Amino acid sequence: MFNQQCRKIFGTKSTRLPHNQNSCRGTTVPRHSRRREDLNDPAEIGAIGTASVKVPDQGGSVALATYMTLPVEQYFVLDPDQIKFLEGSRFLLTVPRQQFFSIWIEPDVEISVNIEASPPKVILQAENCRIRGSEVIQNMQLDKRFCLTFKTELHWCTNSNNGTSNGKNSDMDGDSVASVGTGEITANLNMNVWCEVIPPFNLMPREVLQASCNAVLSGLVGSLLPFFVRKLSEDYKKWAVDPVYRRKRAERNKPLASLEF
């Protein structure tokens, strides 16, 4: 199913160096014992966002609710270069590389996906994160100086259509299709980051530093989230009317890829 993007999280190309082919065979991001309370006077930054999109709900066996609650291994991967299915309910998200002159940073976030029935929603939650970057970033050891919490909730709803179509029809594959209604997909995101302030950034007033970082994160979320739900709705439209596409998704029962470092 899967959120993006300064360059691309879920769609367009980003400028990334390719991974070594021999290093693409792991099942997780290396874990570090980072907790907020373990950090030394960290700055706190974050962002929240909401985005929604309306979509025709085809109903029947191809209803929007059926699509949104597909098994995790059948989720739509909008960009397999940046979102990879690991195993179980875990995915690896590579955030688009951020480049500042010769300095670049590229986080990898391990995300768990859970489906709740009442009320119906899909929850994506960060479990682990690693920061990769240029030599300057590595020397700063930022990977050991931060912690992150990330949670996105996907909700959906539909209103039945009392138009001229009555009863249920069937698509080309024989799956039942009810009268088309109007559905809506909504994504709510909440992200918090705590990071130790190291030279030369410790020379900046804390309020100015945090405000600047918050502005960057808010801008990123503001562009990522609408793009994500729009792509999600486009995929549902294809899934609902294309039986071949549905069959291919149903056959997906193995991890797409995984990484180790």
Domain borders along the chain are 35-241
Q: For the segment 117-145, what is each residue's pLDDT rounded down to a tens digit? A: 888 999 999 878 888 889 888 888 888 88
Question: Model's pTM, two decimal places?
Answer: 0.71
With a pLDDT cut of 90, the percent of the chain lying above it is 34
The pLDDT assigned to 14 comes to 34
Which residues fall within 8 angstroms of residue 194, CB to CB, at 6 or more apart?
A: 36, 39, 42, 43, 44, 146, 147, 148
Q: Give the tokens for residue 82.
A: 């940046």
d(CA 169, CA 35): 54
| pLDDT tens, position by position, 76-110 | 666 667 778 888 888 888 877 877 778 888 888 89
Is 45:214 a contact under the CB 8 Å cutoff? yes
pLDDT attached to residue 175: 53
Higher pLDDT, 74 or 20: 74
Per-residue pLDDT tens digits for 49-61: 999 999 999 999 9
Mean pLDDT (the chain, rounded): 77
* Rounded Cα–Cα distance for residues 88 and 75 (Å): 12
Question: Chain centroid to CA 111: how far?
Answer: 8
> Omega of the bond prior to 199 within 30 degrees of 0, cis?
no
If we measure between CA atoms, which residue out of 250, 243, 213 comes closest to residue 43? Answer: 213
Span 233-258, mean pLDDT?
79
Q: H or E segment at 133?
A: strand 120-133
Note if the bond before 119 is cis, omega within 30 degrees. yes
C-alpha span between 138 and 141 (Å, rounded): 5
Asked if pLDDT for residue 16 goes beyond 70, the answer is no
Q: Cβ atoms within 10 A of the Cβ of 245, count? A: 13
What mean pLDDT comes out for the span 230-256? 84
pLDDT beyond 90 at 66 = yes
CA 238 – CA 235 distance, rounded (Å) = 5
Q: Are 59 and 177 in contact (CB under 8 A)?
A: yes
Question: Domain 35-241 belongs to what topology?
Answer: Alpha-D-Glucose-1,6-Bisphosphate; Chain A, domain 4 (3.30.530)
pLDDT of amino acid 122: 94
Using one digit for the tens of pLDDT, what is the confidence trace for 157-181?
Answer: 987 554 333 344 455 455 555 567 8
pLDDT at 106: 86
State the Cα–Cα distance between residues 243 and 60, nearest whole angstrom: 14
